[in-house]
Amino acid sequence: MRISPSTKRILIGVAGTFAVLLLLAFGLFQWNRQKLLDAALRAVKARVERKYPVALVLGPARFTDLNTVEIKGMSVVPTASPADTLLTARRLQASLSVRSLFAGRPVFSDLQIQHARLTAHSTATGNNYGFLLNKKKAVEAPRDLRQGRNYGLLLNQVLEAGFDNVPGQADFQDFVVRYDGPRHQALLAMPRLKIEDGSISGRLTASIDSVVNELGVSGHVEAGDYALTARVFGVGGSVQLPYVPRRFGALVSFDTVLVSMTGKEFSDDDTGGKLTVRGSLAARNFSLYQPRLGAEDIVVHRGELDFVATLGRATVALESGSRVLLNQLVFHPEIAVRLKPQLAVRLRIDSDAAPTNAFFNSLPEGMFDVVAGTQGTGTLAYHLQADVDLARVDSLHLDSSLRPSKDFRITRFGAEDLNKLNGDFAYTAYNDKGDSLRTFPVGPSNPDFTHYDDVAGYLKSAIMTAEDPRFLTHHGFMEKAFVNAAIQDIKEKRFARGGSTLSMQLVKNVFLNRQKTVGRKAEEMLIVWLIENTHLVSKQRMFEVYLNIIEWGPSKYRWPSGKHGVYGVKEAALFYYGKRPGELNLPESLYLASIIPKPKYYRYSFNSYGNLRTSTRYFFKLIADIMATKGLISESDRDNLTYGVNLNGPARSYIVTARDTTRTVAPADSSQFESINLIDLLNTTKSAEATPAEPAAPGGAPAEAPKQN
């Protein structure tokens, strides 16, 4: 159909008019939209400044397309002192729902922040970020320094501040977080961190107290439910934890950590509130080095913790329902710690029964090197229950046991064959620094080896009485001795006493180093348990080996044959008395027993006139009285005991026999001779013995040790 010129002109006019109207409407829309945007941003600024004591400064804002808003610059400056800028950003971009904007309720999403800097400062007088944690300060009870900090309230504030400010959609580009405090400094540089529908991904370089890590992060967060799942892993290497080296002198690292929080519950109470948090923590190739724990890195290839944790005022607890996975071992811990007014710890740990092979394969590397690789049949389960309150240290309680099944049996030993104690083997003596001093065979191949029956009964009885009175009847441990040793260690804040039985001393000398670490003690106890509970070595053989290897004098002494030191009972008898081990009388035996704890200081048992000091004479009387009460020596032996010895061997030349007023060595304290069993364990009446006393044998010898089953 042909359109007439007049009609065409009319249509063109209508179209032009419509176009002009559209342009006018679009211009009006744009003007009004920008006006509404400016108003919305002023409302956001006012809302933020009402909620927090800050000044929020926003740069020019404009629409870059239909629903994308760009803001040129932003800063957040606390109004309280110190007024240091907390947050700056060069450019912000977000999607804005036009409908919500015209409805007066603007909804922003898909936030992008470029070149952002979050800088936190802390000084002795204040900080520029505390307002984020104090918005609910009204629920906090007045702080009583004597009762300690409320860790539940503090963590709850941190969690709420963190989750409440997590955006649903965000893309941080070139985001740097810096913290400067009086004791710690931290710098987190994130090239990109993205949050999309709760999913988190990104990489960052973290430098905290000079510890630098390249990290990758991925996970998911549900802010409304206080739920989080996050994976943190090293990029190109392991991750080393900061703060721990400075605070605990330890190095802690891992390849990957998985953190999960499934929720929290906070309840108000008279102490200011209590927080319960549920979640899990898992690590791969977890490594820990701390000199007091062990000489090497302690490594766990797979570790997991499912926790129900409760925090309150000066209290932290791991509740029932928590679970620990250590490689293939499963433990169920319950731990309660009170920090104020005095530290108190209560714990209970039970493990599931594990196959023997799984048990030994799961032991941490670097802590159980001797038994690593041990194989067997049956199962093993562990139980530990302990309570300690530093306000009442003497009330310390400990119950620890490894429980085998009826079919438990060792079929193959690990790095060391524990059965070597039954044969001729080479023994190396070390000093406290770990240096080897001398190696010699223990057995008939050594002409200085002395059989059990060739040692004076007086000496055997004196050593057992002083060092381990229940050696013939216990299974490697005396719990009371260990507890009392731990009590003294806690009081003196050092390894003051070891709580070791003869079995433990033997294992330490034959299989382990001399370092005083928690790891060495743990392995020592496990080896003793294996030897004693599998009846691998008879008590008599154990004591025989012990008598032939222990150090009994100065390491610098050189024998005519060229060997150094005084090791074993034969060398001790020759060095001190010029006798054979079977010829020793009661005073000579008591003296040798008295110096076992510190043999290198034997000469300080004598005063400047060559007589025994009061502390050593006290030891003689105490041990002789106990030996007589137990029937190990006769009443006549005790009544006729002389408190002195004649040193007729080379040791004589090391004793000062003329009064010397220039000596600066302090007199020996009697505690140096107090084996823990003397004060803590020995009963002085037969009726108090848990088991019948061993009848005396000729020459004061104890009865025959039980035979190996």
Q: Are residues 116 and 30 in the same domain?
A: yes
Q: What is the distance between the alpha carbons of residues 451 and 682, in angstroms, rounded to a whole number?
A: 28
pTM: 0.77
pLDDT digits (tens, 9 = 90+) for 146-196: 677 888 998 998 888 888 878 778 888 999 999 998 888 999 999 988 888
User: Could you report the average pLDDT of every consecutive run of 10 residues in the chain (709 residues)?
Assistant: 67 59 51 74 85 88 82 87 81 75 65 89 81 54 64 89 81 91 89 89 91 93 91 91 87 94 87 89 94 90 95 94 95 94 90 96 92 94 90 82 94 93 93 83 94 96 92 78 65 60 91 83 92 92 96 90 93 96 96 92 86 93 95 94 92 66 38 36 34 38 40
Question: Of 382, 412, 442, which closes a domain?
Answer: 412
- Residue 151 token pair: 């860790």
Question: Of 132, 155, 189, which closes a domain?
Answer: 132
232, part of any domain? no
462, part of any domain? yes
CB count, 10 Å around CB of 328? 13
Q: What is the distance between the alpha carbons of residues 87 and 72, in angstroms, rounded to a whole number?
A: 14
State which amino acid sits at residue 81.
S
Q: What is the distance between the alpha carbons of residues 592 and 645, in angstroms, rounded to a whole number?
A: 10
Are 251 and 289 in contact by the 8 Å Cβ rule? The answer is yes
**DSSP secondary structure string, 538-560?**
-HHHHHHHHHHHSB-S-TT-B-T
Q: Residue 587 is part of which domain span? A: 416-472+485-495+530-700
Q: In this structure, which long-range contacts are made by residues 389-394, counting pairs with CB atoms below 8 Å and at least 24 apart in sequence? A: 389/342, 389/343, 389/344, 390/342, 390/343, 390/344, 390/490, 391/341, 391/342, 391/344, 393/487, 393/490, 393/491, 394/487
Q: How far is CA 469 from the centre of its chain?
A: 33
Q: Are residues 606 and 671 in the same domain?
A: yes
What DSSP designation does 477 have?
A: -
280, part of any domain? no
Are 582 and 542 in contact by the 8 Å Cβ rule? The answer is no
269, part of any domain? no
Q: Are residues 420 and 384 in the same domain?
A: no
- The CATH number linked to 571 is 1.10.3810.10
The whole-number pLDDT of residue 579 equals 95
183 burial (CB, 10 Å; 0-12 / 13-18 / 19+) is exposed
Q: Are residues 421 and 334 in the same domain?
A: no
Are 170 and 111 in contact by the 8 Å Cβ rule? The answer is yes
Q: How many CA atoms lie within 13 A of 183 on its CB side?
A: 5
77, part of any domain? yes
The whole-number pLDDT of residue 659 equals 46
| H or E, element range at 430 | strand 425-430
Peptide bond into 341 cis (omega under 30): yes
Q: Are residues 396 and 457 in the same domain?
A: no
Are 566 and 575 in contact by the 8 Å Cβ rule? The answer is yes
| H or E, element range at 96 | strand 87-96
Q: Are residues 403 and 542 in the same domain?
A: no
386, part of any domain? yes
Q: How many CA atoms lie within 13 A of 375 on its CB side?
A: 3
Beta strands in 23-86 (DSSP E): 54-58, 61-63, 68-71, 74-78
284, part of any domain? no
Q: Are residues 403 and 424 in the same domain?
A: no
pLDDT digits (tens, 9 = 90+) for 84-112: 888 999 998 887 766 665 566 666 677 88
The torsion of the CA quartet 373, 499, 491, 295, rounded to 10 degrees, works out to: -30
Where do we find the tokens 């084996």? 675
The whole-number pLDDT of residue 31 equals 56
Q: Are residues 675 and 613 in the same domain?
A: yes
85, part of any domain? yes
Are 112 and 92 in contact by the 8 Å Cβ rule? The answer is yes
507 burial (CB, 10 Å; 0-12 / 13-18 / 19+) is buried
Phi and psi at residue 621, to the nearest 5°: -65, -45
| H or E, element range at 214 | strand 211-222
Beta partners for 383?
A: 350, 401
Q: What is the distance between the alpha carbons of residues 699 and 458, in angstroms, rounded to a whole number?
A: 6
CA nearest neighbour of 280 among 347, 328, 327, 230 = 230
Q: What is the distance between the alpha carbons of residues 529 and 376, in angstroms, rounded to a whole number?
A: 15
Q: Are residues 72 and 43 in the same domain?
A: yes
At residue 244, the 3 state secondary structure works out as helix
The whole-number pLDDT of residue 104 equals 60
- Residue 543 token pair: 């004591």
Q: Are residues 597 and 618 in the same domain?
A: yes
The whole-number pLDDT of residue 630 equals 93
Q: What is the distance between the alpha carbons of residues 573 and 604, in angstroms, rounded to a whole number?
A: 18
- Residue 707 token pair: 């035979």
Task: Kindly provide the b/e burial profile for residues 397-417, where b requires at least 16 CB atoms within 10 angstroms of the residue's own CB.
Answer: eeeeebebeeebebeebbebe
**DSSP secondary structure string, 315-347?**
EEEE-TT-EEEETTEEEEEEEEEE-SSS-EEEE
CA nearest neighbour of 542 among 598, 479, 474, 597 = 474
Q: Are residues 368 and 490 in the same domain?
A: no
512 burial (CB, 10 Å; 0-12 / 13-18 / 19+) is buried
Number of domains in the chain: 3
The whole-number pLDDT of residue 294 equals 87
Q: What is the distance between the alpha carbons of residues 307 and 319, in angstroms, rounded to a whole number?
A: 7
Question: Of 395, 412, 429, which closes a domain?
Answer: 412
State which amino acid sits at residue 526.
L
Q: Are residues 432 and 569 in the same domain?
A: yes
State which amino acid sits at residue 41.
L
